[in-house]
A and B are shown apart, each in its own frame.
Chain A
Amino acid sequence: MNDKEIEKLLRSIESDVPPDELKDRVFERIIAQKDCHAASFMAGLERVIFERPFIAACALSIPISGFLWAIMGEDYMDIMSNIIRPW
């Protein structure tokens, strides 16, 4: 947090806060802002991937599979029958 942000934060805290509570208020605001940063960092793609990995895996597997089919052609269809075979 740079000087400008600290100044903005101090100005944003209500003026009627008693001086002995000011320190607590500043800490509360800083922690709240940190949480916001963490939330925005986890936002979007990373959030889906890490918080809902099953859904992310389902969504990713279709284009991966399609891509492999496109480059491997008919060989792609034989992968499983080559792996899974009784004795």
Chain B
Amino acid sequence: MRRLIALGISALSGLMIASFVAKNAGVTKADVARFWNRTDSVTAVDLIADRRYHLHRIFEPNAGETEALPAVVNQGIDLARTHRLREVGLSPGLWADDHIRMHFGEGLYPIRLDRTHTSALVLVGTEDQQAPSCDLVDQRPLVRLVRCQ
């Protein structure tokens, strides 16, 4: 009986640790279901094979930004860095989206977002209407950098 309890404690601990490792390695419930159904030759290693591992990138400047931020934010950051801006505004369309605005705020830094909406250089989403008084400076597929009067 005591051995059974001891075995149970060890098995439970092992399961809890395995659950933690799987969750932090990005294995989802769907992955686990796929594994147990075994409709193909999937193995535990295959489950995370399509997810990139980044240990080798820990000394690479700005590594991980592309994976962490929405495409429109990445393209906006690229424009701001290419033109060596210190501050940039966001169009009303981009500013109104909390998710996008917050990602621009943290992703752009040390380039600052203009909170007073008076900056001449503004990032505009391609779906936003561009003000008539603004000239195109540069663009990417999802975002444009414009200079407004």
Is B truly associated with A?
Answer: no
B contact residues vs A (CB 8 Å cutoff) = none
